[in-house]
Amino acid sequence: MMKFKNPILVWKSLGRLGRIEARDFYIWISPWLIGFIIWRAWPMVYSLYLSFTDFRLLNRPTFTGLENIHTLMADDTYWKSVEVTLGYVIGVVPIGTIIALIAAMTLSQKLRGVNFWRAIYFLPSVVSGVAVAVMWSFILNPDFGLLNSILAVFGIEGPGWHTSETWALPSIILIGWWAGIGSQMIIYIAGIKGIPSVLYESAEIDGAGPFAKFWNITVPMLSPTILFNVVTQLIAAFQAFDHAWALTEGGPNNATRVYIVGLYENAFIFTKMGYASLMAWVLFIIILILTGVMLRISAKRVHYEVEV
């Protein structure tokens, strides 16, 4: 069990040069630390207090105890947003990870113009989410959209996509794949390039085929990178907002009402800041728990180079 050390005794034990180095460290880090406290830590703490208040934008917060929690538990629209968000996360993260890994495996080969194709795949990741949604609104337009026009060539009548309650969420998921693959792909390529080639050479000598090398060498060696991408994409998927809001504003009939759409509406349209703060903290707790569970489960499945 770790024992608490007296900071004064630790400071004295550093010696003169150690104290000078520690002092300089805190001086140089102080701008970031002050900014973090003012712009990050304090707003988070204050929003936790607001979660237990009735706070409208132009009024002072009034403490109401657990009333916001009771309202949240009985809010059918809230639970609909949770359902839609879970569907979005399940649709985007696993399949998006697989597509990004396949793209990375392909573009890590020595191909002609490979840098051009890497740039093309990465480009959607740096485009504004609203611009992406506007572009896809033309592609998925049920009347004159590019996708339905292509389907019509093969005699297929395309669906309403973002105007259909059935196809609206799949449309947002499709945009999520397109916009999120590039950043994952670049990280995967960096991880693939870091795998020692001697492992593949040894496997070839033993008669291993492409799939055996991928499953027994690439995947285990790439497991920390896969974990990082999955966790970051999971967090991003739970916070998805711009595509759903810009394309459908959560409709039709709340079919794309992801969690942050409801939070945004309560905060900035209905000005229920206390209720919105509670929603934000619930989302934070959900993400924290799921991330902790993933890290716990992956402890024996992720292989790091420093492990003995």
Distance CA 265, CA 213 (A): 50
Alpha-carbon distances of 267 from 50, 70, 261, 287, 290, rounded to whole Å? 12, 18, 10, 20, 25
Q: How many residues does the chain have?
A: 308
Class level of CATH domain 75-300: mainly alpha
- Residue appearing with tokens 């924290």: 288
Task: Specify whether the CB–CB gap between 262 and 77 falls below 8 A.
Answer: yes
pLDDT of res. 308:
44
Residues 59, 67: Cα–Cα separation, whole Å: 18
Would you call the peptide bond into 210 cis, given omega within 30 degrees of 0 as the criterion? no
Predicted confidence at residue 287, as pLDDT, reads 94
Q: What is the dihedral of CA 259, 125, 136, 166, to 10 degrees?
A: -40
220: amino acid identity, one letter: P
Supply 160's token pair. Answer: 């309403």
pLDDT at 267: 92
Question: Which pLDDT belongs to residue 236?
Answer: 93
The structural domains of the chain, with segments of one domain joined by +, span 7-68, 75-300
- H-only helix segments in the chain: 7-13, 15-36, 42-50, 67-73, 76-107, 114-122, 129-139, 146-153, 168-193, 197-205, 210-213, 219-238, 242-248, 259-264, 273-297
Residue carrying structure tokens 């916001």: 68
pTM check: above 0.85: yes
- Bridge-based pairing state of the strands 62-63 and 53-54: antiparallel
Q: What's the per-residue H, E or C state across 192-260? A: HHCCCHHHHHHHHHCCCCHHHHHHHHHHHHHHHHHHHHHHHHHHHHHCCCHHHHHHHCCCCCCCCCCHH
Q: Tell me the average confidence (pLDDT) per consecutive run of 10 residues in the chain, 308 residues long.
A: 58 72 86 92 93 88 92 94 95 93 89 87 88 90 88 88 90 92 91 88 85 87 91 94 90 91 92 94 94 88 65
pLDDT at 17: 78
What is the pLDDT, as a whole number, of residue 187?
Answer: 92
